[in-house]
């Protein structure tokens, strides 16, 4: 049973470019969460999605960041016009239900030059 998959594992972008991060949840999971981790810090919640719906995006910056989880295909976290402060590890997690334990993917490490 494959775990949560994320790609790419590493992404380098120049300031002003777009970053697109992908997440495929565990089989049978329809709840997806995105978290951001800065060096020496714990993970911070960004957004919670179910298929085709954003349930809670309270942790996501209002500008430049967006997320989707289409009916078919992976969840996408999109960061437009990246800045150096966006450099971080971005983790996706999935769960079978809204208040169950969450399982994490290996993360995408974004570096903005």
Q: Which is nearer to other proteins, 42 or 85 (CB)?
A: 42
Contact with other proteins (CB under 8 A) among 19, 35, 36, 67: 35
Query: Which residues 49-68 are close enough to bind other proteins by CB under 8 A?
Result: 55-56, 58-59
Q: How buried is 79 (Cβ within 10 angstroms: 0-12 exposed, 13-18 middle, 19+ buried)?
A: buried
CB of 82 to other proteins, least distance (A): 21
The angle at the Cα of 82, spanning 76 to 58, to the nearest 5 degrees, equals 55
- Are 4 and 23 in contact, with CB atoms under 8 Å apart? yes
Decide if residue 103 touches other proteins (CB under 8 A): yes
> By CB under 8 A, is residue 106 in contact with other proteins?
yes
- How far is Cα 83 from Cα 90, in angstroms, rounded to an integer? 15
74 binds other proteins (CB under 8 A): no
């Amino acid at each position: 049973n494959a775990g949560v998959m994320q790609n790419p594992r590493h992404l380098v972008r120049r300031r002003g470019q777009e970053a697109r991060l992908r997440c495929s949840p565990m089989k049978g999971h329809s709840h997806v969460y995105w978290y951001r981790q800065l060096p020496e810090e714990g993970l911070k919640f960004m957004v919670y999605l179910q298929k085709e719906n954003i349930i809670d995006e309270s942790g996501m910056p209002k500008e430049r960041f967006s997320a989707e989880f289409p009916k078919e295909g992976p969840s996408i976290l999109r960061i437009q016009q990246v800045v150096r402060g966006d450099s971080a590890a971005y983790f996706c997690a999935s769960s079978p239900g809204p208040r169950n334990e969450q399982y994490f993917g290996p993360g995408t490490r974004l570096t903005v030059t």
